[in-house]
Amino acid sequence: MTIIQTATVPGTKVTISIDRLQITPDAPVAFIVYEYVDATQSAWSRMFRGENAEKNARDAANQRWTNAIAIRNAKKVQAEVARPEITEGFWEISGTVYKVQRNLAGTGIYAKRLDVDDDGHREWTFVGWQGMRDIRQHGTKVQGDTVRRYGDLYGACMMCGRRLTNEESIESGIGPVCAGKVQW
């Protein structure tokens, strides 16, 4: 048996192989197409003999390759659909607060993390695409009672981040201007 071609479908654990088989010099040539998953066991195979055996084997290998790519792409789409849409506002991951907002050009959104030191000093730190990925995978949108809790804890408006000075605003976690913009 001679391996004619073998390749792994990108982004999958599927390997397609075409082998040429001729038991004796005067025996007819056969071509076998194998599909392996995890490169350990054949998940599918088919033998081709006769006049167009090599062409038919290559066509079958191409079809298996196309099927593996279609399955890979369908899984990517499912994964994207399962992820929540990230919208502007505040998000939380394990007690850490993130603010998602529009960029100045209005063409996209980005995230900042609220860092609070031991003295209570607050600072928003840009977290880049990694922060957006973490929010998409693990984040929970901060609303209602959580906004009030964080506003009271940090003394900052949970919409714009400004320092709250009014007792009512501190209890609600949101300043009067921002309160007029949201409803929950």
Supply 20's token pair.
């040429």
pLDDT in tens, 92-122: 999 888 888 888 888 888 999 988 888 877 7
CB-based contact 55:48 (threshold 8 Å): no
Phi, psi of 96 (to 5 degrees): -95, 135
**Domain boundaries of the chain, sorted by first residue:** 2-82, 89-179
Counting every residue written for the chain, the total comes to 184
pLDDT single digits (tens) 10-68: 888 888 888 888 888 888 888 888 888 876 666 788 888 988 999 999 999 999 889 88
**Strand bridging mode 89-93 / 96-102:** antiparallel
